[in-house]
Structure 1
Amino acid sequence: MRAAIYFTPPAGSALAITANRWLGRNPFDGEPTRAPDAARDRLVADPARYGFHATIVAPFRLAGAADLERIDARLAEFAAAQAPFSITASVPARLGRFFALVPAAPSEPLQMLADSAVRAFAKFRAPLSEAEIARRRPEDLSERQRDHLLAWGYPYVFEEFRFHMTLSGPLSDDEAARLAPLLAEAFAPFDGAPLAIDQLALFVEPEPGAPFRVHSVHRFETA
């Protein structure tokens, strides 16, 4: 089993409903959100398995003394100490070979949230195995990213952190050209709109390769 700390909008929000319909799966209940679409499903299979989210603490195997109850209690405590804030969404944004929702501008509160969460949950993470390190292709990472991978279990933390909510898997240029107008139409109401960052969710992968499910959601409570 692996756990992860993700930002995801409330289950009943317009953004969550739109994104879950786009991906074809609702991570809150694990149910399909639309009829199968062979052309689209293969292009969104990876983000659909993880659920619509932005990574705050990347998926990790639990350390020997850790369990979900302890992690959940720590997340409740951590979230209660956070103050809600907003970013401006930019969607669809092309990030390398995939599409995502990203912030329109850098956000200091967002960076501080991610930095503090990585530190707060580090004690719950089991060290990476050699196979897990190899899957990250360390030969393709920068020296700093490799250091982060070994120290924190994920290469894209601290100054390497980039908030993004993935909406496709890797695409060829032709696939991206076909998908872009569909994404633009589906997500038009959210492009340039404020996105409240006011909760964090504990996601769980019960066994390797299984779809991630929302285990719990904790709202930010500091005024």
Structure 2
Amino acid sequence: MLERFQRFAVYYAPAPGTELAFAGSRWLGWDAEAAIACPHPELGLDLAEITEAPRKYGLHATLKAPMHLACPPATLFDAVETLAQGLAPVDMGQLCLRCLDGFLAIVPETQTQALTDGAALIVKALDPFRATLSAQALARRRAAGLSPRQEELLQLWGYPYVMEEFQFHITLTGRLGAKAMTDALRAAHAWFTPALQAPLTLDALCIFGEDEAGRFHLLRRVPLRG
């Protein structure tokens, strides 16, 4: 079954059945756990259009970015299980809605050093299973415009937004203009506020796989047990 997935990633995703998991899947129009499209809520804006870019990834925050593997998928799954045994859950505190570089996201009100350090450990531990980036993949990453340090991180870890460049975020839209962002923030506050009342914890590593159509599926949730 795993052979149908071309890339794999390790993400944070809210636990199934929670308010955030439900709200996020409906907002994006894709339930990565059930692998089904969801109807968007009626919020007075074209959600199908503004969520087109992040939809295929499902509701998530990146810990280890999508990668082609240099090993059988089962080897990565075993490595994630082993890693999770030694990692303790990380309190992320209160989350909020924020505009990040032109797109709307859910982020911690204050990102703790424990969260930054935990994400760095995950990147380092799982990097041996990543295949070397192709020239085309490198060009796509560079097209966004990278700082010298981000270029260095891209070369080292296959992704430029890691280590001190890491910002925990759950992407909710593509890049928006000022008016569209104002409208999206208004709608998102109405839709997500009940789901963001309680502080959240990074309590599991979620392995996602990208199918032939480019949609990501939640394949396994591994609780942190350290």
Q: Using a 3 Å threshold, how does the CA distance of structure 1 residues 214 and 139 change in structure 2: closer, same or farther?
A: closer
Aligned to 2:146: 141
Q: What do the CA deviations read for 1:50-74 (whole angstroms, capped 9, x no partner)?
A: 01111000111111xx111110111
Instruction: Show structure 2 runs of 5+ residues with no match.
Output: 1-5
The correspondence for 1:57, drawn from 64, 69, 92, is 64
The correspondence for 1:175, drawn from 175, 180, 184, is 180
Distance (Å, rounded) in 1 between the aligned partners of 2:77 and 2:101: 34
Instruction: Show structure 1 runs of 5+ residues with no match.
Output: none
Aligned to 2:217: 213
Aligned length: 219
Secondary structure of residue in 1 paired with 2:63: strand
Deviation at 1:35, TM superposition (A): 5.3
Secondary structure of residue in 1 paired with 2:106: strand
Deviation at 1:110, TM superposition (A): 0.9
Aligned to 2:55: 48
Question: Cα RMSD (Å) of the superposition?
Answer: 1.7
TM-score of the pair, normalised by structure 2:
0.91
Give 2:58's aligned amino acid: G
Aligned to 1:68: 73
Equivalent residues in 2 for 1:1-223, closer than 5 Å: 1-34=6-39, 39-63=46-70, 66-137=71-142, 140-191=145-196, 193-207=198-212, 210-222=214-226
Q: What do the CA deviations read for 1:167-208 (whole angstroms, capped 9, x no partner)?
A: 11111112112111110011112446301110010001133x
Distance (Å, rounded) in 2 between the aligned partners of 1:192 and 1:107: 19
